[in-house]
Amino acid sequence: MSFRRHTLFWALLAAGVSSAFAARTDVTIGMVLEPPNLDPTGGAAAAIDEVVYANVFEGLTRFGPDGSVLPGLAESWTVSDDGMTYTFALHSGVAFHDGEAFTADDVAFSLDRARADDSTNAQKALFANIDTVEVIDDTTVNIHLLEPSGNLPFNLAWGDAVMVDAASADSLATAPVGTGPFRFERWVQGDRVEIVRNDNYWGEPVALEKASFRFISEPTAAFSAMMAGDVDAFPNFPAPENIPQFEADPRFNAIVGSTEGETILAMNNASPPLDNVLVRRAIAHAIDRSAIIDGAMFGFGTPIGTHFAPHHPDYVDLTEDSAFDPEAAKALLEEAGVEELTLSLKLPPPSYARRGGEIIASQLREVGINTDIENLEWAQWLEQVFKGKDFDLTIVSHTEPMDIGIYARPDYYFQYDNPVFQAIIEKLATETDAADRSTLLNAAQEMIAGDQVNAYLFQLAKTGVASVGLTGLWANSPTQANDLTGVSWEE
């Protein structure tokens, strides 16, 4: 014991001395939610990717900070003329953290594992179009599709499609082994995950030697952790109201960007009177987006009029079609013949939902619609709203990138069933021409806005904060990740 304490003392002293002369090489990142496990191929929790994506695990392709699809473990790829076969050329000399070599066999293993019948991959749909994975040689692999598609490199960039090794696949949940520039060090459950630099990394070495992810769910605790210097950065700070304080403090930089999260007031399209488009439109007109952005998000967020990210080139601004107009809302309700309407409003835990819900309830009351607010935990929300479809209204942010396709699923929780829309999405899946894709995407956005499937509120902002001197964190979040590969401390 005393021996250990001595070594520790000297180690600490040494660390103190060296850090006095050079820039820091460690970082502590704050996160709201602790990942339930560390296997991105076996769970949906965004927190998993926020720890391991690009840091510990890599896929054939990856997302860049602006959302573009970049090469990952695949150096390059080509598509056959019929659009049915992709050929990926892999980097050579890549090894997993346990020393196993990464080859084309691992690609086949990873993808087959993800799309197997008994797979617990949360995004199996990403792989639905894959017919077979064919190993050509150690660094070449062919992926044959069922239908022509331009989406494969995008799909393979997701955290759910990362490459894993057969030898370690079963224990990824607690001992993740990938090919990334950091390897997993340890997980103090309930507190933090630590990763350290992988000195045998195949690519550009990273500047950081060590990174800890600390899990702080209480917004106040997050604020004081930043203020007290316990945490160096909080890329998704849970309380937007504190951002101006950080901005005013010379010790911190606020990093405000956008996310892929369309925040919507979802309506149960199958439950009367919400099956009536007039009622849905009335609700949309009753809502003052600016009051919600101001009151719930303290000014952070971009109003949206459809289920599409405003920073996407194909976005159509339709906010005017459902502008705040209580008189129009009342007229529409009258036209629909609806009086004395009371709707349930079920709210999941995030503050955009809880606060936004209170504001929306008050705005709906102004046009004569009463709401019963019910605050739910995520497990209850999934059970009642998402699975049970037992709700009238709910607020949720859909954070997956390019997820307008959910409107083509009639059994999805808001239950929008429109064959014309489904046909558009079907066409989109096989359309490879950029201009035609644009046209289809525009049509899709306009259709769900015209049918006012849901009330579209705002694009969730990424409100982050970092200590001055820490550079290289993503400002936006095209996918849920804390990519630390480019992060470093300035001298």
Partner 1 sequence: MSYALRRLTSLLVTLVVASVVVFVVVEVVPGDPASYMLGLNASPDTVQALRTELGLDQTGVARWFDWVSGMLVGDFGVSYTYRTDVASMVVDRIAVSVPLALLALMLAVLIAFPAGLVAASRRGGVADTGVMGFTQIGIAIPNFWFAMLLVLVFSVHLRWFPSGGFPGWEAGLWPALKALTLPAIALALPQAAILARVLRSSLLDTLGEDYIRTARAKGLSSRAALWKHALRNAMIPVLTIVGLQFSFLLAGAIIIENVFYLPGLGRLVFQAITSRDLVVVESVVMLLVFAVVLVTYLVDLAYAWVDPRLRR
Partner 2 sequence: MSRLGPALGTLLVTVVLVTALISLVWTPFDVEQLNIGNKLQSPDATHWLGTDHFGRDILSMLMVGARLSLAVAMVAVGIGVGLGVPLGLLAAASPGSLVDEFVMRLNDLVFAFPALVIAILITAIHGPGAINAIIAIGIFNVPVFARLTRGAALSLWTREFVMAARVAGKGAARISVEHILPNLANLLIVQATIQFSLGILAEAGLSYVGLGAQPPLPSWGRMLAESQTLISISPHVAVFPGLAIVVTVLGLNLLGDSLRDRLDPRLSHER
Q: Which two tokens stand for residue 379?
A: 């497990």
Q: Which of 318, 312, 329 is nearest to 403 (CA)?
A: 312
CA separation for the pair 274, 268 (Å, rounded):
6
Q: How far is the CB of 79 from partner 1 (least distance, A)?
A: 26
Size of the site for partner 2 (CB under 8 A): 26
CA distances from 468 to 166, 181, 491 (A): 42, 24, 11
| Binds partner 1 (CB under 8 A): choice among 6, 251, 365, 387 | 387
| Binds partner 2 (CB under 8 A): choice among 374, 390, 403, 451 | 374
CA separation for the pair 453, 275 (Å, rounded):
9
Size of the site for partner 1 (CB under 8 A): 51
Q: How far is the CB of 34 from partner 2 (least distance, A)?
A: 18
Chain positions 419 to 478 lying near partner 1, rule: CB under 8 A, are: none
CA separation for the pair 375, 394 (Å, rounded):
10
Contact status: 12 vs partner 1 (CB under 8 A): yes
Contact status: 120 vs partner 1 (CB under 8 A): yes
Chain positions 290 to 329 lying near partner 2, rule: CB under 8 A, are: 291, 294-295
122 binds, among partner 2, partner 1, none (CB under 5 to 8 A by kind): partner 1
Contact status: 270 vs partner 1 (CB under 8 A): no
Helix, strand or coil, per DSSP, at residue 417:
coil
117 binds, among partner 1, partner 2, none (CB under 5 to 8 A by kind): partner 1
Amino acid identity for residue 452 in this structure:
Q
Closest CB to partner 1 among residues 76, 174: 174
Q: How far is the CB of 391 from partner 2 (least distance, A)?
A: 13
378 binds, among partner 2, partner 1, none (CB under 5 to 8 A by kind): partner 1
Chain positions 194 to 223 lying near partner 1, rule: CB under 8 A, are: 214-218, 220-221, 223
Contact status: 387 vs partner 2 (CB under 8 A): no
| Binds partner 1 (CB under 8 A): choice among 122, 323, 359, 373 | 122
In the chain, % helix, strand, coil (3-state, to 5) comes to 35, 25, 40
Closest CB to partner 2 among residues 88, 391: 391
Q: Which two tokens stand for residue 428?
A: 């989109």
Contact status: 225 vs partner 2 (CB under 8 A): no
Query: Would you put residue 99 in left (φ > 0), alpha (ψ -120 to 50) or beta?
Result: left
Contact status: 230 vs partner 1 (CB under 8 A): yes
Gyration radius of the chain over CA positions = 24
Task: Assess contact for 47 and 35: CB atoms under 8 A.
Answer: yes
Q: How far is the CB of 134 from partner 1 (least distance, A)?
A: 25
Residue in this structure with the two tokens 């919400």, named with its chain if needed = 274
Q: Which two tokens stand for residue 463?
A: 């409100």
Contact status: 185 vs partner 1 (CB under 8 A): no
| Binds partner 1 (CB under 8 A): choice among 66, 75, 131, 191 | 191
CA distances from 42 to 115, 291, 485 (A): 11, 39, 24
Contact region for partner 1 (CB under 8 A) — 92-100, 236-244, 377-385, 461-469?
A: 377-385
| Binds partner 1 (CB under 8 A): choice among 85, 123, 142, 151 | 123
Contact status: 189 vs partner 1 (CB under 8 A): yes
| DSSP states of 221-269 | HHHHHHHTTS-SEETT-S-GGGHHHHHHSTTEEEEEEEEEEEEEEEE-T
Contact status: 171 vs partner 2 (CB under 8 A): no
Contact status: 358 vs partner 2 (CB under 8 A): yes
CA separation for the pair 316, 449 (Å, rounded):
10
Q: Which of 31, 476, 486, 24 is nearest to 255 (CA)?
A: 476
Report the interface residues with partner 1, using CB under 8 A. 5, 8, 12, 34, 36-37, 43-45, 117-125, 173-174, 188-192, 214-218, 220-221, 223-225, 227-230, 377-380, 382-384, 386-387, 398, 400, 406
